[in-house]
Amino acid sequence: MRSLLRPSTLAITAGLLAMVLAGGCSSGLSKNECVTADWHMIGYEDGLRGLPADRIGVHRVACAKFQVTPNLAAYTEGRERGLLEFCQPRNGFRVGLNGWSYANVCSAASEPAFAEGYRYGRQIHDARAELRDTQVRLRRARDGLVQSDAAVQAVAVELVLPDVPTSRRVFLAQELVRLTEERTELQARINRLTLRSRELGVSVAELERQSPFAL
């Protein structure tokens, strides 16, 4: 069922999800936390975040400084409990919707439904991201058109002044041609981006409508 996830998302390593959900690769356990650690609870919390099994290694390194060794059995049992809650379809949707990667931590029994939720969420995330990018490029093109119009007006005003030297007038005429071509290209870009923005807006709305999960 892993084939449901697009290759671009599967290429993102499990560590990225760990950084997003847990604030980085560092365990962050202090000496007191290592000494008094409830390894079952720590495992449960890591499982609830969808962190991979090798997360215990990060805790082991953090606590080794204080001569403390994690209880692997308790940690593993707790993590399995956490994963039972994490590997739910709605969590898959949430992970995908936020653009996070999936660390392939769910069991064969729970992964198909989780992956389906992830697929829905990731599709919406990607469509929204493309829409935002298109809208940014559209705003930039419109700003460029405003600047181009201002430059055209400035050149046109100077071009008709009576005492402009011939060499300067030739330059201004060439500049006016260049700016006019630039303006034409900008307007064409605006038209394309406007159309694309509308298409993406419809696509996002349709994906959100089709989602079996409430947004």
pTM check: above 0.85: no
Residue 12 has pLDDT above 60, yes or no: no
CA-based angle 199:205:210, to the nearest 5?
Answer: 125
Percent of the chain past pLDDT 90, that is, above it, reads 81
DSSP string, 42-98: HHHHHHHTT--TTHHHHHHHHHHTTT----HHHHHHHHHHHHHHHSSHHHHHHHHHT
What pLDDT, on the 0 to 100 scale, is given for residue 28? 73
Question: Residues 50-92: pLDDT tens digits?
Answer: 999 999 999 999 999 999 999 999 999 999 999 999 999 999 9
Average pLDDT value for residue range 155-174:
94
CA-CA distance, 45 to 34, in Å (whole number)? 15
Round to whole Å and give the CA distance between 186 and 144: 7
Quick check: 25 pLDDT over 70?
no
The answer to whether residue 24 scores a pLDDT higher than 60 is no
Reported as a single tens digit per residue, the pLDDT across 90-130 is: 999 999 999 998 889 999 999 999 999 999 999 999 999 99
Q: For residue 112, give the H/E element and its range.
A: helix 111-159
Token representation of residue 31: 């000496």
